[in-house]
Amino acid sequence: MADFDRVDEVRAASDVILVGARTVRRDNPRLLVRSDERRERRVAAGRPASPCKATVTASGDLDPRAAFFAQGDAPKLVYCPRGEERRLRRRLGELATVVPLGREVRMPDLLEDLGARGSRRLLVEGGGMTLTQFLAADLVDELLLAVAPFFVGDRRAPRFVGDAAFPWSGDRRAALIETRTIGDVVLLRYALSDRFGERPPLSADQGRELAREAR
Ligand SMILES: NC(=O)c1ccc[n+]([C@@H]2O[C@H](COP(=O)([O-])OP(=O)(O)OC[C@H]3O[C@@H](n4cnc5c(N)ncnc54)[C@H](OP(=O)(O)O)[C@@H]3O)[C@@H](O)[C@H]2O)c1
């Protein structure tokens, strides 16, 4: 499907892909770049074939056999509160770098840690709880929203965001940058900060640095 290829392109342009732990548990995503051509281009630039993967958990309930850990050579990062660090290290061993971030994980701290590891471009792929925190904290530069032509008639279905005080309102509207039709899906692209479009992808040296530091 054309929209999967569009997602693949966005993944290939990222340094790190982050999903919440519930998405790891429910969807078991691989979070890899699929296109051989894009993978080769990344490797030629001195970067891992697929971006570094990151997740965040408070419960520590992550299965080491999940595709998140089992697939791909890129480094994997697991952010958690300080109290979960030991248990997660025991459970995950060499599969991932466990990064404790204080009594509770706050997304600005997570971003700062990624920045210190040399990451420039983070793709947050969901789910809603994770997206909500990035959006409510005004940390997002660009929002890509794909609208598919069907309805989900179940109030328990996952939502794009949960309850929060978001920075965007009638007085502060997000800037619509682009609309694109991809098959029967419409892609809406919004600029959510003044930093929109500023982040260049990592240079080869920075990519190697991020890969090394995350190990
Ligand atoms: N349509 C799409 O493009 C798309 C993309 C991704 C996901 N999804 C869907 O979204 C659903 C999951 O979304 P969700 O909102 O329920 O969950 P989520 O955002 O994927 O994950 C939430 C979990 O992440 C951890 N977490 C989040 N913020 C944290 C923090 N500040 N500190 C510590 N841990 C934190 C917690 O893990 P613990 O429970 O381990 O403590 C929390 O339960 C799935 O059904 C999936 O299919 C859809």
pLDDT score, position 199 = 54
Helix (H) or strand (E) segment spanning residue 143: strand 142-147
Long-range contacts of 187-191, Cβ-Cβ distance < 8 Å, separation of 24 or more: 187/3, 187/6, 187/144, 187/145, 187/146, 187/147, 188/143, 188/144, 188/145, 188/146, 188/147, 189/142, 189/143, 189/144, 189/145, 190/142, 190/143, 190/145, 191/141, 191/142
Considering the four listed CATH numbers 3.40.50.970, 3.50.50.60, 3.40.430.10, 3.40.50.300, the one that applies to the domain covering 2-138+200-214 is 3.40.430.10
Closest protein CA for atom 43 of ligand 1: 22
Is the distance from the beta carbon of residue 50 to the nearest atom of ligand 1 less than 6 Å? no
The pTM assigned to this predicted structure is: 0.92
Show the low-confidence residues of the chain (pLDDT under 70): 199-215
Domain chopping of the chain, boundaries:
2-138+200-214
What pLDDT, on the 0 to 100 scale, is given for residue 190?
96
Would the CB of 158 count as within 6 Å of ligand 1?
yes
For ligand 1, what atom is nearest to the CA of residue 128?
Answer: 15
pLDDT for residue 102:
94
Give per-residue pLDDT as tens, 142-176.
Answer: 999 999 999 999 999 999 999 999 999 999 899 99
Substitution candidate for ligand 1 out of 8, 17, 28, 57 with most atoms within 8 A of CB: 57
Give the model confidence (pLDDT) of 14-23 as tens digits: 999 999 999 9
- In this prediction, residue 3 carries a pLDDT of 82
